[in-house]
Structure 1
Amino acid sequence: MTAQAALPAGVGLLERAINYLLGVLHEVRDGEMSARTPCTDWNLRELLGHLDESLVALQEATTGHVSLSPTDRPVADPVSALRDRACCLLSAWTNATRVDVTVGDAGLTTGIVATAGAVEVAVHGWDVARALGRRRPIPPGLAEEMLAVSPLLVSEADRPARFAVPVAVPAQAPAGDRLLAFLGRRPY
């Protein structure tokens, strides 16, 4: 697949991941912000802040450069802010025409960045649902596609700093469970 062809594929995956996240965010209530998440160092408010930073970086990618300088933007209603940012992000990616982006010092295709963003958004969407005590599996087709590319996005050098070691699950487990397990989460 060429870089030009990868852009729509990555954008489509990102759009589906954002739709999943938006469905999960619909279930968040104000009193749940201190809930623990599968990301052991973060409560729900902190996870939503991380997701916001991720969406900011993904939107920057549509301009051709991601700065990697996080900004501290505490907001009164992180769920509404994240919903708004997700919608703006979809608009930016839908109108994007670039096929390359610089992330820090690395040159990547926008298709790769959008695909990595889709994994980030969907898996953290699952983290949000889990923090709320809800079972909201990642949609099977979306999970299958992300599972296929995850070994290209997450190397052993990323473990244990950015991702925990993989968790064992049965080979016949649903794709969403296998994806989560590959990324070091306990899907059950």
Structure 2
Amino acid sequence: MSRRLDHAVGLLERSLVGTRTVLGLVEPGDLGRATPCAAWDLATLLGHMDDSLGAYLEASQGALPLVPALPPAAAAYDDPAGRLRVRVGTLLGAWAGAAERDLDRVGLDGPSGLAADLLVSTAALEVAVHGWDVARSLGAPSAQQEAAATVLPPALAQALLPVARRTVAAGRTEGLFAGPLPARPGDGPVEVLLGLLGRPGRQR
């Protein structure tokens, strides 16, 4: 078994647990809610998460085509949060299997590839932060804070910080992240991590 990939799969599992919980709170009437992602309502965010998890799932087989597969029929999105909850379990099982097979690199439609453990760690980061986005879109402020703390506890944020510092700059170059917010005195790992991704972890 690949130790580095096994560690990354453990990080992915920690990220998926809280996000799966908060996805279970989404009701059909919530899909038009605003999210921390500028110009995205909750339905758009969930669609983006579905696309991302689908790509990470495909990558567990050792290759990631640069041209994505066609999306499922529209009817499959009648319950986007429920669909994502199913994806979560499938994704974790697929990457646990990849670790057992000692998958080292994921091909990207060519001779070069990406380290599998880095890909999975990046998936963990994306899952946790977008889970936090979902949580912050739901209910009253007190409910949002409680759900967000479930998705992104300090220990998980601390474990994801090295991943963010390694990967976010490239994503920002491609327009995937807002500019970073500077850390402030008293910020913990959650606020620092979210700030790296352009999200205020607490009121500024």
Query: Normalised by the size of structure 2, how large is the TM-score?
Result: 0.84
What letter is aligned with 1:153?
A: T
Q: Give the one of 124, 127, 134 matched to 2:130.
A: 124
Helix, strand or coil at the partner of 1:108: strand
Q: Give the one of 171, 177, 182 matched to 1:163.
A: 177
Structure 1 residues 58 and 130 mapped into 2: Cα distance closer, same or farther (>3 Å)? same
Larger Rg: 2
Compare the two structures and name the one with the higher helix fraction: 2
Helix, strand or coil at the partner of 2:51: helix
Helix, strand or coil at the partner of 1:65: coil
The aligned counterpart of 1:29 is: 27
Deviation at 1:143, TM superposition (A): 0.5
Task: Check conservation: 1:35, 1:131, Cα contact below 8 A.
Answer: yes
Distance (Å, rounded) in 1 between the aligned partners of 2:198 and 2:174: 9
Task: Check conservation: 1:159, 1:165, Cα contact below 8 A.
Answer: no
Q: Give the one of 147, 150, 156 matched to 2:161.
A: 147
Q: Deviations over 1:99-133 (max 9, x none)?
A: 11023555111100100000000000000011114
The aligned counterpart of 1:90 is: 92
Q: Deviations over 1:61-105 (max 9, x none)?
A: 110111241643331111111111111111111111211102355
Distance (Å, rounded) in 2 between the aligned partners of 1:8 and 1:127: 27
Structure 1 residues 179 and 131 mapped into 2: Cα distance closer, same or farther (>3 Å)? same
Distance (Å, rounded) in 2 between the aligned partners of 1:172 and 1:10: 29
What letter is aligned with 2:106?
A: V
Runs of 5+ in structure 1 lacking a partner? none
Task: Check conservation: 2:107, 2:114, Cα contact below 8 A.
Answer: yes
The aligned counterpart of 1:72 is: 71
What letter is aligned with 1:80?
A: G
Runs of 5+ in structure 2 lacking a partner? none
Structure 1 residues 142 and 103 mapped into 2: Cα distance closer, same or farther (>3 Å)? farther
CA RMSD of aligned residues (A): 1.9
Q: Give the one of 100, 103, 106 matched to 2:108.
A: 103
What letter is aligned with 1:152?
A: R
Q: Deviations over 1:158-181 (max 9, x none)?
A: 247111111123243121111010
Distance (Å, rounded) in 1 between the aligned partners of 2:65 and 2:174: 24
Distance (Å, rounded) in 2 between the aligned partners of 1:60 and 1:112: 15
Identity of aligned residues (%): 38
Q: Tell me whether 18-27 or 61-70 shows the greater mean CA deviation.
A: 61-70
Distance (Å, rounded) in 1 between the aligned partners of 2:60 and 2:191: 31
Corresponding residue pairs, total: 186
**2:58 is the counterpart of 1:60:** yes
Distance (Å, rounded) in 2 between the aligned partners of 1:91 and 1:176: 27
Task: Check conservation: 1:52, 1:82, Cα contact below 8 A.
Answer: yes
What letter is aligned with 1:17?
A: S
Q: Deviations over 1:40-74 (max 9, x none)?
A: 12110111111111111111111011124164333
